[in-house]
A and B are shown apart, each in its own frame.
Chain A
Amino acid sequence: MNAMFRNKWWSFGFRSTVMLYFIILIIIPIFGIYTQSLSLGWQPFWESVSDPLAWKAVLLTVRLAVIATIINIFLGTMIGWVLIRYKFPGKRFLNSLVDLPFALPTAVAGLMILLLLGPRSFVGGLATKLGFDIVFHEPAIIIAMVFVTFPFVIRAVQPLLEELDRSEEEAAYTMGASKALTFFRIILPSMVPGIISGAMLAFSRGIAEFGAVVLVAGNIPGKTLIASVYIFGEIESDNPQGAAAVSVILLTLSFVILWTVNLIQSRRPGQ
């Protein structure tokens, strides 16, 4: 028994307050957005969603988030591996630096990218001379997404590598397997659950990202306008129903991802 307060009324009051807080803060708003998107019926909902600019924005977001996630799968697997398996000077420093994108305000991250790669910077000038653009075009959006979702795969892979039983690996070596073969047959399969759940979290964060992207994307409708910025634009132009309709698509996508990750993670200890 763990009643925080023995008194019945006190404990009843606490329970109700905490549950109400939870329901009012989290559950009601999410229901609100689904009902609002259908507030004028199916027809306007369908019209908002099938607006070419809207679905172009959603498709662009998904495409760029997929690219950013793939980049992060490679970077994250490599860095997670290096930070767990190798000893080298500066390892602890790098390991604590991994979380920087979580701690840094996303608007500041966007500003950083703008300063580094913008038209007046060295890299930006070089790119213009070579004939391609970074800032206010797709590459900048991908860079912003990679930056913001950088820690996910690393942090998901690291605990798995720490738990990994070394004896299997050593057995493979003694039986004459090469390093590469051991990696792909023994080590990589045990990292896969971490890579998948890390990648899914990174992807769902990527399609939701706003702060870092809005500053560097240029936000040209149909070209560099991603979904969250599109929603922001609809709110600003006083079309909450349209904003809600596109939100519902993004939200549903994110919820499916989140619950899949939960499923993967809850299955893991039972293996």
Chain B
Amino acid sequence: MRKLWITLTYVVFILLLIIPLVEIVRGSWSEGWSGFTEGLLRQQSLHALKMTALIVVIVTVLNTLFGVMLALYLVRAKWIGPRIKRLLNSLVDLPFAVSPVIGGLMIVLILGPSTVIGTFFEASGFKIVYALPGMVLATLFVTFPLMVREVLPVLQEIGAQQEEAASTLGAYSWYTFWQVTWPSIRWGVIYGVVLTVARSLGEFGAVLVVSGNIMNKTQTATTLVYQDVENFNVVAANGVALVLAAFSVGLLLLMEWAKKRKEVH
């Protein structure tokens, strides 16, 4: 029985995960090195990868800062009642339940060119939808819970005792944070960063709706892959897809490493 179950597990992994990964690598080399570089070094590919990198950086920085602060408030703040805390706590998960396409639709509905806010910003020369700000907003929405969900349980677990001790001894609060709180949440935050990077790198549905997928302007790596496939240009799509897949495998290794450190501390 034992052998049967282990073999079955291997079969599932090979069929579902390993063969597809190998296929992406093989597919991008199907026309040799030149086919691969041609697909990857097209102007729109380079631009798309640049857009993706830009979004990943902005989103990760913002959501790390706000995620850690929100987690701190939701666990420690005395100025929020326990009922409201519980309500806010359950609202944090909402983006997990929202289809990415719907996430994008929300932003178009509120900030699109036909709405009040949209026209206001457009009149002052600041485009949100079908431009970078909207794409960043969409990705922020989708990745919002990841950091909070990593940091919050750690904060709950360590309790406030050490921090209180540090504060009564007269330590400055900012100092308390770095010396007392940060060392214990550090690996949770790093894990959250890796998750946020992975999710924002791969975000597709929300960005597709908000960006309008304009080549060389608002196209990201994932929406470029989509467009290439729709245009039956699979070989060119493979090059960009391989870069994305390589990044996610790298992130997966980072995740594994951060998880191990998180358990130790």
Contact = CB atoms under 8 A, between A and B. Distances in A.
A264 interface: no
Most buried by A among B102, B105, B112, B141: B102
A215 interface: yes
A262 B23 contact: no
A59 interface: no
A150 B140 CA distance: 24
Contacts of A130: none
A244 B96 CA distance: 18
Interface in B172-218: 172-174, 176-177, 195, 198, 201-205, 208-209
Given A15-B79, A208-B99, A29 B202 contact: no
Interface residues of A, number: 81
A40 interface: no
Interface size bucket, B side? 35 or more
Contact of B97 (A86, A229, A254): A254
Interface stretch (A46-54, A100-108, A168-176, A185-193): A100-108
B41 interface: no
Interface string A93-126: 0101101111111111111111110000000000
A231 B99 contact: yes
B241 A111 contact: yes
A22 B109 contact: no
Interface in A229-252: 229, 231-232, 235, 240, 243-244, 247, 250-251
A33 interface: yes
26 contacts: A3-B173, A15-B73, A21-B66, A22-B66, A22-B88, A26-B141, A29-B106, A33-B106, A78-B9, A90-B10, A94-B9, A96-B255, A100-B252, A104-B202, A108-B241, A115-B23, A116-B19, A150-B16, A179-B1, A209-B99, A210-B101, A210-B205, A228-B102, A231-B105, A232-B208, A240-B108
Interface of A: 1-6, 14-15, 18-19, 21-22, 25-30, 32-33, 36, 75, 78-79, 81-83, 86, 88, 90, 94, 96-97, 99-116, 146-147, 150, 179, 204, 207-211, 214-215, 227-229, 231-232, 235, 240, 243-244, 247, 250-251, 254-255, 257-259, 262
